[in-house]
Amino acid sequence: MKHAPLQQDDLASHAVLLAYMSDMTLLHTALEGHPAAEVAMASLDHSLQFLDDFRVDEWLLFHTDSPHAAEGRALTHGSFFTSDGRLVAEVTQRGLTRH
């Protein structure tokens, strides 16, 4: 499915959409080692820093990791890179992960 490009000069829309994208799947990173786990998840806090200009209608790599997940809580981290390797945003999220 092909999507229409966003307005080039509307950087606020790109930032809003990246914020949404960063929250959609980041907590799932904490469950990578437990694919069969049935867990309810909820975000406790979500911090996003924009480091450079970007477009969400162009290719972005979302690299994620979870440095800590235990006792019903998880810490996750993500970095957004453009196709030319520029780091454009960093996100950190803490969440509940309960059976």
| Residues that are catalytic | 23, 43, 93
Retrieve residue 20's tokens: 């949404």
Structure tokens at 63: 């690299």
37 in Cβ contact with 59 (< 8 Å): no
Quickly count helices (H) and strands (E) in the chain: 1, 4
